[in-house]
Every structure is written in C-alpha cells, then in structure tokens.
Amino acid sequence: MARGSRNLGRSKGLIGEEKESSWISYTDLMSALLIIFALVIMVTMYDTQNAYEQQKKAMDEATEAIKQKEEAIAQNNKLIEDVIGVKSKIIEELMIAFKDSNLDLQIDKQTGAIRFSGGVFFDKNSSTVSAKGVDYLEDFIPKYIEILMSDQFRDEIAQIIVEGHTDSDGGYLYNLQLSQDRALAVAQQVFAPNFPKFKYQEELKTVITANGRSFSVPILDKNGEMDPDKSRRVEFKFRLKDEQLLEKLQGMMVDDGR
C-alpha cells in the first residue's frame, strides 16, 4: 500500500510538472508573438511616417514651385506694364515731334518704329546716301535722338537700330548685303565729320546699331503680295532694357514648362 501511494504521488508530480512546463511554453509563445506584433506595428508606423514625410516634402516642393511660378508671372506682368508705359510715352513724344513734319515718314503707333520709304535715302541698287537722304537725316536725327536719349528715357534705352530693307530683285544674299550696306551707310552719315553736331551725338554711339534684313520683312499690298516700292525702306527702331529682360524671363518660363 505504501509503495502504491508513493507511485501515485510521483505520477501526480509528473503531471504537475508537465502542466507547468506547458504553461511556460505557452507564455513564451505569447510573449514572442507580442514582440513580433510590436515590431510589425513599429515598422508599419515607421513606413507610414516616412511615406507621410516624403509626401509632405513633395507637396511642399510643388507648392514652392507654384509660388515661384506665380512670382515669375507677377514679375512678367509688372515688366510688361513698365515696358508698355515707357514705350507709350516715347511714341507719344515722337508723334508730337513729327506731327507737322514735312518728312516722308510713318510712325508705327504700336512699336514706335519710324519708316522712311526706299526712295528717300537711296537710288535703286545703291548704298550711297543721296543728297535728299542727307537733308532728311539732318532734319530727323537731332529731334529723334533728343527724345530717346533725353533724361526721361536714356536709362531705359538698350538699342537704337537702323534697319535696312529691300525688295526681292537680285536674290536674298545680294539684298542682305545691300540692306546691310544701306543701314551702315545711314549710321556712318550720322557720324560723318560734315554732319551737323547734335545733342547726345556721343551718347548715341553707345546704343546705335545697323542691321540689314534683305527682303525678309516685306510690306504687302492689299492682295497680300510684296509691294516693292514700300518694301525698299529704312526704319529706325528702339529697344528697351526691360524688353530684353522680359524676353529672357519668358524664355526661361518656356524652358521650365517643357
């Protein structure tokens, strides 16, 4: 009987140990699962935070790009207003100065370009300024330059351009040379020793340029055909410093939009 009691007690002890061992293993498993779960949550939170920060960064960059674009547009608009304002004032002054002039010229009310018909300065196929052309220049240049180089506008002027144009007789390259020679001849005449001195003559040297355009910018008749007589001409133009800056900014915006 005593031996049986001892065996029974040993059996109960083993069962208790097995139960305790099983409970410990289950606890370890649950602990491991909790740790894994916590790690998964931490990784998920990290990924979510990282994704949020990247998205916020992208949104901030997009917002900054839009802001810069808007600032560039505002700057462009301001420049356009300034250019239009200054150009309008110059054109108004030119219109007043040559309103009662006997010179055969036309003033473009949009650009301020002043156009002289072909027969005024040159004989056909010639690049020598005619006597009539010299008289025209002596009358026209002092008034024209006094307006553009005045204290009111001098700091706004980037270029004063003498531009030669031809008809299509003789081909493009022949007329390119002829138109360039004519534009240069006009500029040379203005600075010739026998040309009457005028106000801002020396200042003019810093901004004047002479360009030949061949027949690339013809004057058309009512049928849309080149008018040879009107196409043979000399034009005086001016460019503002803000115009050049505006063109540069617009070019940058076009490049950014590609």
The chain-wide mean pLDDT, for the chain, equals 84
**pLDDT (tens digit, 9 = 90+) per residue, 157-186?**
999 999 999 999 999 999 999 999 999 999
Residue 140 token pair:
């026209």
Distance, CA of 80 to CA of 99 (rounded, Å): 27
- CA dist 140 and 64 (Å) reads 52
Q: Give the pTM.
A: 0.69
Using an 8 Å Cβ cutoff, are 110 and 119 in contact?
no
List, in sequence order, every residue forming a beta bridge with 212; answer none if it has no partner.
Answer: 164
Give every CB contact of residue 180 below 8 A, 6+ residues apart in sequence: 164, 210, 211, 212
More reliable by pLDDT, 4 or 161? 161
The 8-class DSSP code of residue 223 comes to T
pLDDT at 173: 97
pLDDT band at 251 (very low <50, low <70, confident <90, very high): low
Q: What is the sign, positive or negative, of the torsion defined by CA atoms of 25, 30, 33, 35?
A: negative
Q: What angle do CA 142, 185, 176 make, to 5 degrees?
A: 125
Q: Residue 117, SS3?
A: strand
By C-alpha distance, which of 193, 191, 189 is closest to 203?
191
What is residue 194's predicted lDDT score, i.e. its pLDDT?
A: 96
Beta carbons of 182 and 116 less than 8 angstroms apart: no
Contacts of 169 (CB under 8 A, 6+ apart): 175, 228
Confidence (pLDDT) at 58: 81
Q: Are 143 and 155 in contact (CB under 8 A)?
A: no
- Residue bearing the bigger pLDDT, 258 or 31: 31
Tokens of 183: 């534009």
Q: Take residue 227 and report the two structure tokens written for it.
A: 């008018």
Partners of 236 in beta bridges: 114, 162
Neighbours of 228 (CB within 10 A): 17
Task: Please answer whether residues 204 and 118 qualify as being in contact, where contact means their C-beta atoms are separated by less than 8 angstroms.
Answer: no
Could you count the other beta carbons within 10 Å of the beta carbon of residue 120?
A: 21
Residue type, 189: Q
Tens-place pLDDT, residues 45-95: 877 877 777 887 888 887 787 787 777 667 667 767 777 889 999 999 999
* CA pair distance 76, 86, nearest whole angstrom: 15
